[in-house]
C-alpha cells in the first residue's frame, strides 16, 4: 500500500511535491553538445554575500506551512517535512543552484564502471560522523538508498539495490536497473539522504520495525549541520547547531533554527512583514509585489516541475483523435494560462513536457493561438468521426479551496471551439484517487516532475498502467521505440534522445507544458544564503546575516 501511494503521488504531483534538475549528464559526464540549453530563472539570484564566522546565540525564525509528519527524511511525506529535515541530513552530492551542477559532499568523487552506465563507484569522505558520534561508512550509504527504494518507490526505480556493493568503509558501488542520465544531479535531494543504518537496525531489532519508525519519525539520526532539540506538537520545532559537524569550512552561522507552524498563507506573509519570523515559504503569487515593496526579499522560483495540459486518450475516444487535440492546442493562449497561475512570474515553454527550467528543454512546438486553425481541425474531427456535443464534453477536477483561475481560463478557450469543460471540486484525496488517477478526469492541468527523467518518459507510455496521460494511436509503436531509445541513451546522447521524444509529442499534439510550477519564498533582506536542493526545495541551514 505504501508503494502504491508513493506511485500515485509521484504520477500526479498535485500540491504536495515539487522538483528540480540540472545538467542531464551529471557532473562526471559533461554534455557533448554545447548547445544544450542551460537552466534559467526569470529573476536574479536573491542571495548576497554573507558575514563570516558563527554566532553563539543567534536564532533563525522560520515559518513553515504546517506541522511535519516526519523528520526522518527517508520516510518523508510532504514539503513541511523537508523544510525541517533538510537541515539534519547529508547526501552523496550537494546541488549547487548557482552553477546548476552537483558538487561533492559525503562523496568526494565518482566514476562509471561500465559502458552501459549502470554501475557507479562512489568514494566517500572518512571524517563524516552522525550526531550520535558514529562514523558514516559505505554500508550506511548502500542501506539508506536501499531503504529509499522501499518508501520512495517511483523516485528510485533506477536503482538495483540487490546488487549494491560495499567494497570497504569508503567505497560503495551503486548498481542501476537501467541507465539514468541525470543520476548525479538528483542524488542531492531528500529522497536520497544518508542515515545511521546501524542505529536504525539496532532500534528495529530492539523494538520492531513499526515502533522504530515511530521513534525515528520524531527523532532520526543524521549527519547534517543541525540536530533536534525539541518538538512541541502543534506549535514549533527547534534545531540546534551540530557543533561536531564534519564540514568545518561551512559551519552554520545560527546557533538554533526555530520552525513555527503557520498553515494560513496570509498569516505567513503577515508574520514575515511584521518581523515575527525571518523566513517563510510557499507564499502566494499575488503577494509578491506587495512584499517586495515592503523591502523584503521575495524569490518566485520557477521549478523544474511543469504543469502540462494532458488528455486521457485511453478512456475518451474523442481525445484519441489527433484533430481534436490539435484544435485544443491552437485555441489556447499559453502565456495567458501561465499568467493566470503565477501572476506573470511563471515561465512557459514551447515543449510538450518541459519549460526552459530544464536542461532537457527543446523548443519543438511550432503552434500558437490561432482560432481559425483550431476550428478547422475541430470541423475535420467531427466530419471524420461524427463527434457529438456529448463526446466533446469533458470533466476536470480541482482541489477544494484551490485557485481555479487557470482552469477557468482553459474552460473559456475550449468553449470557443465547441468543447464543454466541467470543473468539479473535491478534497485532495478524492481528486487523487477517485478521479484523476482512476481516469474519469479527461482533461487536466496537473503537476509533473521534469527534474526526474522518469517522469518525462513514463507519463507518455501506454505500456505503463499508471500513465493516465499516455498516448494511444496508430503511431504508438514509434513512440515506444523513441522512449526505449531514450532510456538506453548514454549521458552524452541523452539530450538528443529526449528531444526526439518531445518532438514526437509535439507533432502529435499529445500534451503541452502550460507553465513551470513556482515556489515563492521570502525572507528578511538583512539575511542571505538560501539554498535550493536538487529537488528545488529550499534549505535554510546555510543562511546568515548579509555582509
User: Half-sphere exposure (CA, 13 Å, Cβ side) for 88?
Assistant: 30
What is the structure's pLDDT at 234?
95
CA atoms of 427 and 438, how far apart (whole Å): 15
pTM of the model: 0.82
What is the structure's pLDDT at 235?
96
What's the total number of domains in the chain? 2
What's the alpha-carbon Rg for the chain, to the nearest Å?
Answer: 23
Residues 296 and 322 in one domain: no
Residues 228 and 318 in one domain: no
Give the 3-state secondary structure of 13-74. Answer: CCCCCCCCCCCCCCCCCCCCCCCCCCCCCCCCCCCCCECCCCCCCCEEEEEECCCCCCCCHH
Q: Does a structural domain hold residue 212?
A: yes
* 235-279 confidence digits (pLDDT tens): 999 999 999 999 999 999 999 999 999 999 999 999 999 999 999
Residues 453 and 387 in one domain: yes
529 SS3 class: coil
CA atoms of 142 and 171, how far apart (whole Å): 10
**Domain of residue 69, CATH code:** 3.40.190.10
Give Cβ neighbours of residue 31 (< 8 Å, ≥ 6 apart). 23, 24, 25, 359, 491, 492, 495
How many CB atoms neighbour CB 273 within 10 A?
18
Q: Does a structural domain hold residue 195?
A: yes
Q: Does a structural domain hold residue 378?
A: yes
Q: Which three cell numbers stand for residue 185?
A: 544531479
Contact at 8 Å (CB) between 522 and 269? Answer: yes
- Degrees to nearest 5, angle at CA 463 with 461 and 465: 95
CA atoms of 535 and 86, how far apart (whole Å): 11
- Which residues on adjacent β-strands are paired with residue 307? 515
Domain of residue 96: give its range.
42-300+520-545
Q: Does a structural domain hold residue 242?
A: yes
Residues 353 and 249 in one domain: no
Residues 530 and 499 in one domain: no
How many CB atoms neighbour CB 12 within 10 A?
23
What is the structure's pLDDT at 458?
84
Residues 210 and 123 in one domain: yes
CA atoms of 312 and 468, how far apart (whole Å): 6
- Which residues on adjacent β-strands are paired with residue 545? 527
Q: How high does pLDDT run on average in the chain?
A: 87
Residues 389 and 246 in one domain: no
Q: What stretches of 386-475 show up as alpha helix (H) in DSSP? A: 405-415, 428-430, 453-458
Strand order in the sheet with 107-112: 107-112, 119-124, 171-175, 165-168
What is the structure's pLDDT at 101?
86
**Domain of residue 345, CATH code:** 3.10.105.10
CA atoms of 529 and 98, how far apart (whole Å): 11
Q: Does a structural domain hold residue 10?
A: no
What is the structure's pLDDT at 301?
87
Q: Which three cell numbers stand for residue 395?
A: 470533466
Q: Does a structural domain hold residue 191?
A: yes
Q: Does a structural domain hold residue 459?
A: yes
Q: Does a structural domain hold residue 34?
A: no
Residues 514 and 526 in one domain: no
Residues 532 and 403 in one domain: no
Residues 361 and 375 in one domain: yes
* 17-75 confidence digits (pLDDT tens): 333 333 333 333 323 332 333 333 445 667 788 899 999 999 999 999 999 999 999 88
Given a cut of 70, the residues of the chain with pLDDT beneath it are 1-45, 432-439, 454
Residues 273 and 311 in one domain: no
Residues 261 and 353 in one domain: no
- Which residues on adjacent β-strands are paired with residue 393? 420
Amino acid at each position: 500500500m505504501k508503494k502504491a501511494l508513493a506511485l500515485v503521488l509521484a504520477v500526479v504531483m498535485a500540491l504536495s511535491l515539487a522538483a528540480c534538475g540540472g545538467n542531464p549528464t551529471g557532473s562526471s559526464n559533461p554534455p557533448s553538445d554545447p548547445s544544450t540549453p542551460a537552466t534559467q530563472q526569470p529573476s536574479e539570484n536573491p542571495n548576497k554575500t554573507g558575514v563570516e564566522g558563527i554566532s553563539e546565540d543567534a536564532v533563525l525564525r522560520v515559518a513553515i506551512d504546517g506541522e511535519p509528519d516526519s523528520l526522518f527524511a527517508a520516510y518523508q511525506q510532504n514539503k513541511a517535512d523537508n523544510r525541517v529535515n533538510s537541515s539534519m541530513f547529508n547526501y552523496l552530492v550537494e546541488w549547487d543552484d548557482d552553477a546548476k551542477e552537483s558538487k561533492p559532499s559525503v562523496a568526494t568523487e565518482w566514476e562509471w564502471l561500465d559502458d552501459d552506465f549502470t554501475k557507479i563507484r562512489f568514494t566517500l569522505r572518512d571524517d563524516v560522523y552522525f550526531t550520535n558520534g558514529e562514523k558514516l561508512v559505505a554500508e550506511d550509504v548502500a542501506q539508506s538508498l536501499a531503504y529509499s527504494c522501499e518508501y520512495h518507490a517511483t523516485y528510485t526505480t533506477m536503482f538495483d539495490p540487490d546488487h549494491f556493493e560495499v567494497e570497504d568503509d569508503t567505497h560503495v558501488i551503486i548498481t542501476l536497473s537501467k541507465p539514468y542520465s541525470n543520476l548525479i544531479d538528483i542524488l542531492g535531494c531528500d529522497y536520497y539522504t544518508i542515515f545511521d543504518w546501524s542505529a536504525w537496525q539496532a532500534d528495529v531489532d530492539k523494538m520492531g520495525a513499526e515502533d522504530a519508525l515511530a521513534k525515528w519519525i520524531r527523532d532520526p539520526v543524521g549527519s547534517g549541520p543541525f540536530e533536534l532539540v525539541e518538538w512541541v506538537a502543534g506549535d514549533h520545532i527547534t534545531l540546534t547547531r551540530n557543533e561536531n559537524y564534519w564540514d568545518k569550512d561551512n559551519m552554520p552561522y545560527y546557533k538554533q533554527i526555530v520552525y513555527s507552524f503557520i498553515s494560513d498563507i496570509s498569516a505567513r506573509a503577515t508574520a514575515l512583514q511584521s518581523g515575527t519570523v525571518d523566513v517563510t515559504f510557499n507564499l502566494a503569487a499575488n503577494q509578491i509585489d506587495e512584499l517586495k515593496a515592503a523591502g523584503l526579499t521575495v524569490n518566485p522560483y520557477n521549478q523544474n516541475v511543469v504543469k502540462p495540459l494532458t488528455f486521457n486518450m485511453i478512456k475518451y475516444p474523442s481525445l484519441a483523435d489527433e484533430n481534436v487535440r490539435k484544435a485544443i492546442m491552437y485555441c489556447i493562449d499559453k502565456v495567458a494560462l501561465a499568467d493566470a497561475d503565477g501572476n506573470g512570474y511563471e515561465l512557459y515553454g514551447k515543449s510538450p513536457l518541459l519549460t526552459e527550467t530544464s536542461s532537457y528543454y527543446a523548443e519543438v512546438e511550432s503552434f500558437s493561438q490561432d482560432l481559425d486553425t483550431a476550428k478547422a481541425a475541430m470541423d475535420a474531427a467531427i466530419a471524420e468521426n461524427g463527434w457529438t456535443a456529448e463526446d466533446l464534453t469533458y470533466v476536470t477536477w480541482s482541489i477544494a479551496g484551490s485557485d481555479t483561475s487557470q482552469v477557468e481560463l482553459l474552460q473559456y478557450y475550449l468553449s470557443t471551439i465547441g468543447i464543454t469543460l466541467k470543473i468539479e471540486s473535491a478534497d485532495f484525496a478524492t481528486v487523487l484517487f477517485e478521479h484523476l488517477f482512476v481516469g474519469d478526469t479527461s482533461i487536466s492541468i496537473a503537476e509533473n516532475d521534469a527534474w526526474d527523467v522518469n517522469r518525462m518518459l513514463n507519463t507518455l507510455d501506454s505500456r505503463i498502467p499508471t500513465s493516465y496521460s499516455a498516448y494511444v494511436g496508430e503511431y504508438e509503436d514509434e513512440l515506444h521505440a523513441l522512449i526505449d531509445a531514450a532510456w538506453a541513451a548514454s549521458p552524452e546522447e541523452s539530450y538528443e534522445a529526449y528531444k526526439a521524444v518531445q518532438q514526437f509529442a509535439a507533432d502529435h499534439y499529445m500534451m503541452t507544458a502550460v507553465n513551470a510550477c513556482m515556489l515563492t519564498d521570502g525572507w528578511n533582506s538583512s539575511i542571505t544564503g538560501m539554498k535550493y536542493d536538487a529537488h528545488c526545495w529550499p534549505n535554510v541551514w546555510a543562511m546568515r546575516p548579509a555582509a
